[in-house]
Structure 1
Amino acid sequence: MEFTKGENRFYKEEHGKLLAEVTYVPQGDQVAIDHTFVDPSLRGQGVAEQLVDRVVEEMEKENKKIIASCPYVVELFKRKSEKYQAINANA
């Protein structure tokens, strides 16, 4: 799925309706992912993880680590620790 990059967020909209979003807060050489949202119509399809992966891709380019503060991201980083170990500021 393709996401639009906004200011400190990636999101998906259709017909003016927000379908998915991840937001992050810059903190020096790190960012804190503080929110993820996926519309019920898209849940169970891995969209939230795709959003997080988009932030990971962007932060890798900027050589920044990610602080997981959103409960979903905290759990994702725990569940898939090997995948996110290099980018996780909490590791």
Structure 2
Amino acid sequence: MNYVHESNRISLSSPQGELLAEITFPLAHDNVVNINHTYVHPDLRGQQVADTLMRLALDDIQKNGLTFTATCPYAVHWLERHPEHKP
């Protein structure tokens, strides 16, 4: 799958341009972003796409020298299951 990395967003689209998955993490303040939204198309659920989005987002956040908070319910739950990634 070809994930597209943008500033504060990672997404996956079909060849026809349909949004299949995304995670957004806008700047909240100073050097802190807020992971505030994840979406995975129903056809892709259960295939670890949301997990991949979280890992890619955390990699991007770290590479850019930022820290993060999370208000997205999926992200909060994911971080509870992966305490090694907590801010």
TM-score (norm. length: structure 1)? 0.86
Of all paired residues, the percent bearing the same amino acid is 35
Q: How many residues align?
A: 85
User: Is the partner of 2:23 in helix, strand or coil?
Assistant: strand
For residues 44 and 9 of structure 1, the distance between their equivalents in structure 2, rounded to whole angstroms, comes to: 21
The two structures have a TM-score, normalised by structure 2, of: 0.90
Q: Post-superposition shift, 1:16?
A: 1.3
Aligned to 1:19: 20
What SS is found at the alignment partner of 1:31? Answer: strand
SS in 2 for 1:59: helix
Q: Give the unaligned 5+ runs of structure 1.
A: none
How far, CA to CA, are the matches of 1:23 and 1:38 in structure 2?
12
Distance 1:54 1:44 in 2: 17
User: Over aligned residues, Cα RMSD in angstroms?
Assistant: 1.1
Dislocated runs of 4+, deviation >6 Å: none
